[in-house]
Chains A and B, each alone.
Chain A
């Protein structure tokens, strides 16, 4: 019901886009019209706040940000007086709405999109909370697959922002961590060995083939004595009949290709993002990773997801995380030190000591997502700056996912994904009024 209604709204909007220029101005049909959003306030995310502010969108990019801007008469206007516009929020990890299909073990090639049912996916929940992009992760322990970043629009064409962003690694118990790491990287090592052996074999074969060809060539061109062997140098001038064929490596186990890339220190290797259900698991992970001899001398893992519960002595690992300047995906509610007089607000303590903090909803559901702005206010209350708090759901996740050149701030040249609040986003009770993806209003509270 909801969905079909929603779809009809979108269709109506699309229709309006096409029809409006003809009806209003009567200009020649120009589907590439400029869109202008006029908001009461624009938080650009680069430290600037425009009051009022205007954003001009042309050809799918932000072309101008400012106020009292000039734009073509036939521009499509989105009026939002009294509302605050900021960059659309990005969910750094979610499996909300995906069909349950968990796989344990090492399956780095698995995509969460196979768990996505177009008919059932509640995109509206993301949009209502102001999220324009989400990094979907598959279920399961070990390496269940890779994260895929999508726009949260129901429009399925051109939805994928990044086909693989990171490798989530879930360990529920120390033993699970040790065995997953051992098995995963063990298999990867085996694949590398396999290819190495195949190459050696191929080289050997080539060598032999070459020798044979040379001998034959000698026979043909050289002395007539057949049984003799000459120690003289073979002629290099004639390459013979063996063409330099390309070495065809045997097919690799697709489940561990990503791990092979990590072992071989490839540039396009994905980062591993570890879900640390309790702080001790971080130490166990370090211990497990140090047993992988190829990774011994490299930087330890530095992207962690912390759980949303208040339990767990995460203050014990503050120093450890700070030392490696970790990126921490954390719901803002996490605080520690029960039964004492001092409370440590973990995300703020981490942010202040130099870690990169990315805010996640407290729970991976609509309630959690809608609560994010209020939780950001909590971060500010505990001493984080407003800018950093807002960046923790916009620019920082974009950076983590490798999309910071495309989104995360309201800047010239970036893609027009925005969210409009009815007041300041950190104000209690702030509501999302409109969500705009690729310059189009995909969710509007007035239509509810």
Chain B
């Protein structure tokens, strides 16, 4: 029984450690996992809403039943894919005030809880799109989101409940403009490609110079113990590139870089190993040639399994994209999340490579040999870890946010649709109510029911 929030955090950290072991060669990701778990992101609270209930100790279950206060939601009968734990068939997930309070078979459910009968359905944590545009505003979602935007609905219909919009990790909540942001997150965009050798040199030198400076700072700290008048090294020159280099070297920020060829991957990994900074690589199409490379430098990867890249004939070596990329990286223990080629959702699924097909992109990696559970992780807990919100979302665990999607089939099947999307214990999307996909295999049937009323409506009909 978990007594208080702190111990749940410790437990979470342990879980992260345990689950990370099979995939991670380097130690930096484990450390990152622990650091994230101990430093819960601050959540913005604005407007007239009352402050959130503090994450206080969870009361005993009996007490809960005696004095049931708060909003309960129970999803019953589903096959629960917890991601970080086991799969529970015919189980129930109970949430209270937007947080998961218990998971299991035959658990006690208060009478006044809102119940969803999800028997025959599959329950997953809400999907996390590592990067997106047009799903939740731009910048601070609270001040930019259109609460009735179609993009949000289509995102939910694709199973996405949280995403990083380029500056904040936000939830796809409709009809409100408060409490959307999970945390602020920014990466340092790094360009270190063979196409621009001058820039590469400049960056390397900046790193060297800042590293030298940091050594001096360290030395100064030691000197100061004996001699309080020791002069601190000048740091006025640390601006621009130097400042970003310092934040990377100090581990305050994570670098993000789009790298495709094995040549560039080798170069940037060398840089990362030499200076020891954390890094996320987007693309990494040719990483399959030397999957251990990324594992050794402790990088995380954002993969697009369906992206196509031809071999560079001039180099003569192996190259180009491979369907096995995800599988090989997984086997080498490189943590990765999966994203479609387009970060938008405006294509309306016509091209099939935008965020409305996020699970299908992961399924394509399974086609290349990736285990299914790893594919599901790559669109749930892995992006959550990379975005530093794994303590809140990304898996179904007691104490985490009640963000679920309930699918009418397996998540990775091309036949499956999201039946309900739930965020913070509230139904945000219901396929049968939305008029978006309600006519496609409604409730498992083949044909949609005939509409009761057509346009133009008859005069005198109720509105």
Contacts and interface: CB of A to CB of B under 8 A. Distances in A.
A280 B145 contact: yes
A283 B176 contact: yes
Contacts of A280: 145-149, 177
A381 B459 CA distance: 7
Interface in A336-357: 337, 339-345, 348-349, 352
Contacts, number: 63
B111 interface: no
B143 A283 contact: no
A291 B143 CA distance: 12
B178 to A, nearest CB: 6
A279 B146 CA distance: 8
Interface string A271-314: 00000001110011001001100001000000000000000010
Contact of A174 (B145, B453, B459): B145
B48 interface: yes
B46 A291 contact: yes
Contacts of B146: 174, 278, 280
B453 A175 contact: no
B316 interface: no
B142 interface: yes
A156 B87 CA distance: 80
B176 A341 contact: no
Contacts of A126: none
> Chain B at the A interface: mostly helix, strand, loop or mixed?
loop
B463 A341 contact: no
B237 interface: no
A30 interface: no
Contacts of B148: 278-280, 313, 316-317
Contact of A290 (B47, B457, B463): B47
A287 B177 contact: yes
A176 to B, nearest CB: 10
A290 B178 CA distance: 11
B144 interface: yes
B447 to A, nearest CB: 16
B197 interface: no
B454 interface: yes
B96 to A, nearest CB: 26
A342 B149 contact: no
Nearest to B142: A287
A115 to B, nearest CB: 31
A174 to B, nearest CB: 5
A178 interface: yes
Contacts of A348: 463
Nearest to A381: B459
Contacts of A284: 143, 177
Interface string B75-111: 0000000000000000000000000000000000000
Contact of A175 (B143, B175, B451): B143
- Most chain A CB within a 10 A radius of its CB, from B47, B455, B457, B463: B463
B177 A283 contact: yes
Contacts of B46: 287, 291
Contacts of B53: none
A341 B454 contact: yes
Contact of B48 (A173, A178, A296, A342): A296
A151 B143 CA distance: 40
B143 A174 contact: yes
Contact of B144 (A175, A339, A381, A382): A175
Contact of A343 (B48, B451, B457, B460): B457
A388 to B, nearest CB: 15
A81 interface: no
A249 interface: no
A254 interface: no
A317 B147 CA distance: 10
Contacts of A290: 47-48
B276 to A, nearest CB: 39
B435 A339 contact: yes
A341 B452 CA distance: 8
Nearest to B453: A341
Interface in B144-159: 144-149
A303 B178 CA distance: 22
B68 to A, nearest CB: 28
Nearest to A173: B144
A278 B147 CA distance: 10
A316 to B, nearest CB: 5
A419 B233 CA distance: 84
B350 to A, nearest CB: 16
B154 to A, nearest CB: 12
A178 B175 contact: no
26 contacts: A174-B137, A174-B144, A174-B146, A174-B177, A278-B148, A279-B148, A280-B145, A280-B147, A280-B148, A283-B175, A287-B47, A287-B177, A290-B48, A291-B47, A313-B148, A317-B148, A341-B451, A341-B452, A341-B454, A341-B455, A343-B455, A349-B463, A352-B463, A381-B459, A383-B460, A383-B463
Given A283-B175, A339-B435, 17 more contacts: A173-B144, A174-B137, A174-B143, A174-B144, A175-B144, A178-B143, A278-B148, A279-B147, A287-B177, A291-B47, A313-B148, A316-B175, A337-B435, A342-B453, A342-B457, A348-B463, A383-B463
Interface of A: 173-175, 178, 278-280, 283-284, 287, 290-291, 296, 313, 316-317, 337, 339-345, 348-349, 352, 381-383
Closest 7 CB pairs of A and B: A280-B146, A341-B451, A340-B435, A313-B148, A280-B147, A316-B148, A283-B177
